[in-house]
Amino acid sequence: MARRTHTALAAGLLTAVLALSGCGAGGGSDSGANSDKQAAAPAPHGKAGFAGDAKAGAGSPGAGSSGTAKKPNGLTATHVIRTASLSVEVKSAAKASAAARATVEAAGGLVANENTEQVDDTHDSSHLVLRVPQDEYDRVLRELSGAGKLLSRTSTAKDVTDEVVDVESRIATQRASVARVRKLMERADRLADVVTLEGELSSRQASLESLLAQQASLKDRTTLATVTLDLMEPEGDAAADDTDGPGFLDALGGGWHAFVTTVRWLAMAVGAVAPFLAAAAVLLALWRLLRRRGGKAGPAGD
């Protein structure tokens, strides 16, 4: 009797478990079917539906698979903007400028700007803006500093790796956003939807072009360093002290100058005395004439 009772209880429990499992499975199937129906249900073709999709695509940078922000890690290349400013005193600004151009071009760089002018009509000065590859930056800077007497030197280095990575991430996000709007335009069948999406596409393409221009500027500044070089010739007595001693031609030129100066002074002296000599000659001639007449008149009277 007890065995029959235990068997009946086990059968009842088994039936209850099977009933509960069937209910749970049925509920899960119903919820899954409802989810599938909601996912498969087409979005309304009205203006609000397309505008909502477009705005969702243009949301935060996290929208879309490509919207995940990229963070620099140990393998990310370092991007640095280097600038330097040099002021050097040289004997000849023209020769030093030519040497600086040759040095930069040999290193694979270029001269972005050059200006030479005469100061106080006594000496020249040159201003050059040079673009130098990052790998040759230190070597070129040493050569330019040794072109003459170094008056001043300043250099800066700015790490823009985070900015470069951020711009690249934003470009990827913006490109994905533009692609989504294009797909929405292909599905649009109402004029109002097309007009709205064209406005969204134009705005996002403008933002993408702005980011691409920023990326190009960062690439240029991190690839080529900028060196500002000022070359100045010494003034007055300093220039005279730097020149070599006088040679034969210098002595010949100085002697000729002294000779011309002496002749000029003599001519000026003769010119200044000439009127007095002329007056004295006239007076002497008159005196002699009167003396002769006086000598002839004396014997005749006797």
Q: Above pLDDT 90, what percent of the chain?
A: 41
CATH number of the domain located at residue range(s) 80-159+227-238 in this protein: 3.30.70
Cβ neighbours of residue 47 under 8 Å, at least 6 residues apart? 190, 192, 193, 196
Could you give the CA distance from residue 225 to residue 231 in angstroms, rounded to a whole number? 19
Give the pLDDT score at 20.
38
| Sheet of 110-119, strands arranged across | 110-119, 123-133, 224-232, 80-89, 149-159
Return the DSSP state at 250.
H
Average pLDDT, the chain: 75
Give the pLDDT confidence of 149-199 residue by residue, as tens digits. Answer: 999 999 999 999 999 999 999 999 999 999 999 999 888 888 988 899 999
What are the residue ranges spanned by the domains of the chain? 80-159+227-238
Give the pLDDT confidence of 251-261 residue by residue, as tens digits. Answer: 777 787 788 88
**Which has the higher per-residue pLDDT, 48 or 252?**
252
Give the pLDDT score at 271.
84
Strand partners, 149: 89
Nearest 5°: CA angle at 101, between 99 and 105?
Answer: 120
Could you give the CA distance from residue 89 to residue 44 in angstroms, rounded to a whole number? 76
Specify whether the CB–CB gap between 71 and 165 falls below 8 A.
yes
Q: Is the pLDDT of residue 57 over 50?
A: no
Specify whether the CB–CB gap between 181 and 194 falls below 8 A.
no
Could you give the CA distance from residue 253 to residue 197 in angstroms, rounded to a whole number? 85
Could you give the CA distance from residue 5 to residue 172 in angstroms, rounded to a whole number? 72
Cα distances (Å, whole numbers) of residue 209 to 47, 175, 206: 27, 10, 5
Could you give the CA distance from residue 231 to residue 59 in angstroms, rounded to a whole number? 53
Res. 280 pLDDT band, cuts 50 70 90: confident
**Which has the higher per-residue pLDDT, 192 or 8?**
192
Q: Which tokens is 86 given?
A: 């040099």
Q: Is the pLDDT of residue 46 over 70?
A: no
Strand, helix or coil for residue 113: strand
Give the pLDDT confidence of 214-243 residue by residue, as tens digits. Answer: 999 999 999 999 999 999 988 755 544 545
Give the pLDDT confidence of 77-92 residue by residue, as tens digits. Answer: 889 999 999 999 999 9
